[in-house]
Amino acid sequence: MKKYNVTVNGTAYEITLEAVDASDVKASAPAATPAPAPAAAPAPAAKPAAGGETVSSPMPGTILSVNVTNGATVKKGDVLMVLEAMKMENEIMSPCDGTVTSVNVSKGAAVETGAVLCVIG
């Protein structure tokens, strides 16, 4: 056992570490963490005047890719775009069948929670 003093953000901590031999460590691959379930777009607060379904950003992040264009036909569950948040890629999926009437973001755009990403009519 070895004791160390560590200072984090101005607070001093005393920690104790146990030394282990390489023979004591079992050879195994790190446990894979399951990918998070794709975040479904939250229900819109209000329907657009044209009667379309608004797809909003579920969290702040950066748009990595936009997989649809205006006029594209989509089915419920199709990946509309990929949003990177906290070093994780989140697929933004279509909440309904329809035609994309408006794409409001482009690749590389920074978005906030609730920002309108696209509208499906």
pLDDT tens figures, 54-91 = 999 999 999 999 999 999 999 999 999 999 998 899 99
102 domain residue, yes or no = yes
Joined tokens for residue 10? 């101005």
Q: What is the residue-averaged pLDDT of the chain?
A: 82
Range of the domain at 87: 53-120
94 domain residue, yes or no = yes
Question: What is the domain-level CATH number for residue 103?
Answer: 2.40.50.100
Count structural domains, the chain: 1
pLDDT for 8 equals 83
95 domain residue, yes or no = yes
18 domain residue, yes or no = no
118 pLDDT higher than 50: yes
112 domain residue, yes or no = yes
From residue 76, alpha-carbon distances to 7, 16, 20, 66, 79 in Å are 51, 53, 53, 16, 9
76 domain residue, yes or no = yes
- CA–chain centroid gap for 95, Å, is 16
Can you tell me the distance from the alpha carbon of 16 to that of 10, in angstroms, rounded to the nearest whole number?
19
8 domain residue, yes or no = no
